[in-house]
Structure 1
Amino acid sequence: MNIFNLGGLGGEESPRAAAPEQCSRKGCRAAADWQLLWNNPRIHTPERRKVWLACNEHRAWLEDYLQTRGLWKETVPFGSAAASVGGTA
């Protein structure tokens, strides 16, 4: 054990980084297939985009949740560069 590496600053990849990104639906452990881009106009600038990840099964449920509250902006495939505009969660 190296006392200088206790903070995880070594060259080893963390287990979290190696895991696939998961769906944002509570309790779902499926891999993400979609990015749901949204913002809350009461607290975010218009160009800001927050991101929820969704599997195919939960995409419609999460979109409906955001649309009902007037927060949803667009859905793009996971890994698309569109989600990087204006920041993320």
Structure 2
Amino acid sequence: MSIFDFAAGTDPALAEPGAVCSRKACRSGASWQLLWNNPKIHAPERRKIWLACGEHRDWLEDYLQTRGLWKETLPLDAGSPDSAPEQDS
């Protein structure tokens, strides 16, 4: 458990396995994938993925759109190999 998990009141050991929302301190299951890239550092065809629960989808999408990074939002397909999130912010 890190100090950030402690501050958020979460314990990663208690988190359910599977896709988890990328919103800070949210441990809800994800049902959406937000595809984005930073044109200053990524090739145009590269897509990074943040996962979102229904509650945080709009917030994360707005965050990316405001910064000009958002490309598209798709339903999370648990069987898709592309559904694994990249762990950086």
Tell me the TM-score normalised to structure 1 length.
Answer: 0.70
Q: Which residue of 1 aligns with 2:69?
A: 71
Paired AA for residue 28 in structure 1: C
Superposed structure 1 runs of 4+ greater than 6 Å apart: none
Q: Which residue of 2 aligns with 1:35?
A: 33
Give the Cα separation in 2 of the matches to 1:60 and 1:66: 10
CA-atom RMSD, angstroms?
A: 2.0
Question: Any idea what the Cα deviations from partners look like across 1:25-72, whole Å, max 9, x if unmatched?
Answer: 001010000000000000000000000000000000000000000000
Give the Cα separation in 2 of the matches to 1:72 and 1:34: 14
Q: Secondary structure, in 3 states, of the residue corresponding to 1:73? A: strand
Tell me the TM-score normalised to structure 2 length.
Answer: 0.70
How far the C-alpha of 1:76 sits from its partner, in A, is 0.2
The 5 Å alignment of 1:51-70 reads 51-70=49-68
How far the C-alpha of 1:21 sits from its partner, in A, is 1.1
How far the C-alpha of 1:79 sits from its partner, in A, is 1.5
Give the Cα separation in 1 of the matches to 2:47 and 2:58: 19
Count of residue pairs brought into register by the alignment: 69
Paired AA for residue 50 in structure 2: W
CA radius of gyration, larger in = 1
Give the Cα separation in 2 of the matches to 1:40 and 1:20: 26
How far the C-alpha of 1:20 sits from its partner, in A, is 1.6
Q: Which residue of 1 aligns with 2:23?
A: 25
